[in-house]
Amino acid sequence: MSVPAPTSTRRGFVTVAAGAAVAAGCARLERPVAVLTFDDAVKSHRSFVAPILAQRGFNATFFVTHRWM
């Protein structure tokens, strides 16, 4: 399945994990930053979303609830 590149990459954004964004704080960054987060650990995040993000070289943060651990 081919997935078109997200608009943000065409506009020069770089994706960073939530922790990296927090660590950067108010620092001036070289490029615009996007933080992708996914909540509630639904199965499609691992089976569908994560492979697409990896294919595109994107970083993301997945929040896993305790019932899934």
> Is there a contact between 41 and 61 (Cβ–Cβ < 8 Å)?
no
Count of Cβ atoms closer than 10 Å to residue 31 Cβ: 9
- Predicted confidence band of residue 1 (pLDDT cuts 50, 70, 90): very low
- How confident is the model over 39-55, as a mean pLDDT? 88
pLDDT tens per residue, range 53-62: 889 888 888 8
Q: Is 39 helix (H, G, I), strand (E, B) or coil?
A: coil
Which pLDDT score, from 0 to 100, does residue 9 have? 67
Using one digit for the tens of pLDDT, what is the confidence trace for 8-36?
567 788 888 888 777 877 777 777 888 88
